[in-house]
Amino acid sequence: MHNAGDLRRLLASEQAGLVLVIVVLGTILTALAGSHVDRLTGSEVNNFLNSYTLIQTATDASFFAIMAVGATIVIISGGIDLSVGSVYALAGVLTAMMLRSMSGADASALVFVALAASIGIGIACGAINGALVVGLRVHPFIITLGTMWIVRGVAFVASNAESILVPGALTRVAKASLGLGDALYPVPMLVMLLVAAAGSVYLTRTVHGRHVFAVGGNAEASRFSGVPIGRVTMRVYIIAGLTAGVAAFMGASFYGSASCADATGYELYVIASAVVGGASLSGGKGSAVSALLGALLIVLIRQSIRTLHFDQNYEWIIIGCAIIIAVVLDQTSARLTARRWARS
């Protein structure tokens, strides 16, 4: 009986639907992708269901999935952050410029400095966003729309629009095979999983996480309950900046360079991941794990377009439709839940 109850709770969770959609889409891709003969082993390998493609798909998702965790925490609090892609670019560019002046440093020191600098720049940008939202009392959409352009502009001016190479020590860390073999780079995927796990623990197991849900659910009630709304708001934007810094470190390390154009348009992918993952734009609802699953679903949609040889221009149309459908389903679910509560 206990196991049956656990199974019912698992199937009723908001992640269950996302996992089901991902599994169905993965099954369709496996069936339609075709196969090829592996040159090393001589065995027939599915074009989608193989270790290289699966890890590459997770890697493609990881850079904006990491930011989606931070953005989801902001959305749960009732805010929004449009500047995450620009913060990613600035953190990557300034870190690469700093490393360029440390050409003779030890490899481990370079990695440590790069990680610390990237995260520090991300946190600083997040703190500025939070301070502006709290201090000016202007809607965060407007504030972060402004900082999105400002931060991107600072990255452009600082780098002179050049792509800046990072030391090979960083690339060796980001592309470590960890014993899986050549051309398999699981590090970005593992970092993505760690960030999602940390975000989930923060939201579900800490007092600060409960405050985020409380402020997003009803800010006035939270204020009367003694929740420090200003501090909660500052905290969520700092977390969003932190995740953008982590993503920037991984992206610059993995690709070997950073430029002011990095992560252009990632705002769409990040917010789409959160919304498709079930986060409510009105606040009070969302999950770090669901944001990760939303990012994976979006990458699978992109993978489907490539695998099935559709016109890639349809990618934006399909992702836009997915956002609208996710919001409509969320609103419908909220209305049905309200009716059930009213009847009971």
pLDDT 10s digits, 99-156? 988 877 788 899 999 999 999 999 999 999 999 999 999 999 999 999 999 999 999 9
pLDDT of residue 8: 60
pLDDT of residue 17: 76
Q: Would you call 46 helix, strand, or coil by DSSP?
A: strand
pLDDT of residue 334: 66
pLDDT of residue 11: 54
Contact 80, 282 (CB under 8 A): no
pLDDT of residue 330: 67
H helices of 13-50, in order, are 14-32
- What is the second-level CATH architecture of the domain 49-334? Orthogonal Bundle (1.10)
Q: Residue 257: which region, alpha, beta or left (left: phi > 0; alpha: psi -120 to 50)?
A: beta
Q: What is the pLDDT of residues 183-237, one digit of tens each?
A: 789 999 999 999 999 999 999 999 999 999 999 999 999 999 999 999 999 999 9
DSSP characters over 268-306: HHHHHHHHHTT--TTSS---HHHHHHHHHHHHHHHHHHH
Contact 72, 279 (CB under 8 A): yes
- Average the pLDDT over 35-52 and give the result: 80
DSSP H or E run through 93: helix 84-100
In the 8-state DSSP scheme, what is residue 335? H
pTM, 2 dp: 0.90
For 248, the token pair is 């920037």
Q: What is the pLDDT of residues 144-154, one digit of tens each?
A: 999 999 999 99
Percent of the chain with pLDDT over 90: 57
Distances (CA, A) of 43 to 32, 38, 54: 19, 6, 18
pLDDT of residue 317: 82
Place of tokens 């720049």: 121
Q: In the predicted model, is pLDDT for residue 238 greater than 80?
A: yes
Can you tell me the distance from the alpha carbon of 98 to that of 121, in angstroms, rounded to the nearest whole number? 12
Considering only CA atoms, which of 49, 55, 89 is closest in space to residue 190? 55
Strand partners, 257: 165
Domain ranges of the chain: 49-334
Confidence of residue 163 (pLDDT cuts 50, 70, 90): very high
pLDDT of residue 190: 95
Q: What is the pLDDT of residues 256-312, one digit of tens each?
A: 999 999 999 888 889 989 988 888 888 889 999 999 999 998 888 888 887 777 777
